[in-house]
Amino acid sequence: MIFLKKISTLIAAIGVVGLFIGLAIDFPDFREKYFYKHGLWSGKFSTTTEYTIITGDYPEPPADQPRFVVNIESAEGSGSVHGEMFSEGICKYNPISWYFYLDSDAPGLQGYASLGHSRKFILSYLRDSKKVPIAEIKITISEPHDSPTAMEIEPLAVAPGLEIPGKIIAGKDLEAYSDDYDFLQDYCGKTSQEFHIKMIEMIKEERFNEKKRKLEHKKIQEKASETESPLNSSPSSENSVSHTLLTTAA
């Protein structure tokens, strides 16, 4: 009996070890499938639903929501997601460059709790070869029945002056994606061009004003120099002095 118990214990231990080994081997695939969801977090998203068949399962977009474009790509295996996001409000915030980075590390507990459907992202732009964060955003992706994959964007923290509505609904591979993308690229390009033209005009005006100030300062100095010079005494003053000297001598 003791021998049989030992055999049973050994078999159970081997089974447990085998289970852990199996989980260790399968865990990356398990994590990728149920938490990272590589396929779900890759694609082109936009907000205009025109030309696309939308069913009742698709989230109701807010009234008059602005055009947004989100392009993301999931790094298979690492769980991170990277891409870009832009809109009229975002481009106006930083017209120097209209490329805005969207980055998310591997999901934490919140991502695990949502089974990979929800993530936090950092929106940033490049300055001096470094990414400058301007917003923290929560993105939740759902897969409505017989409708495009839907993305809900919710800003959690936004830099002063940056315009991002409290809720945005975007769809994956919508028919009007190209229209949204081209419109925003054109808008952002014009905004950047207008900004640079304005900056050039401001620089020209400042240089003109600086030159004007220098000329005025030079004139004031020359006038002061002429007033203080003894060679500029008036003839009447010289005659008066001579008359005084002659009178004294007499």
> Could you report the per-residue pLDDT of 176-220, keeping only the tens digit for each?
999 999 999 999 999 989 988 888 888 888 888 888 888 888 888
57, 79, 245, 83: which is closest to 169 by C-alpha? 57
Higher pLDDT, 109 or 176: 176
Other CB atoms within a 10 A radius of the CB of residue 99 amount to 11
| Range with top average pLDDT, 56-60, 145-149, 159-163, 194-198 | 159-163
Residue written as token pair 């030309």: 51
Computed over every residue of the chain, the mean pLDDT equals: 80
pLDDT at 230: 57
Give the whole-angstrom CA distance, residue 15 versus residue 138: 42
Q: What is the dihedral of CA 234, 236, 239, 244, to 10 degrees?
A: -110
| Per-residue confidence (pLDDT) for residue 241, from 0 to 100 | 44
The CATH classification number of 43-191 equals 2.40.128
- pTM of the shown model: 0.71
C-alpha dist (Å) from residue 144 to 39, 60, 68, 70, 141? 15, 12, 20, 19, 10
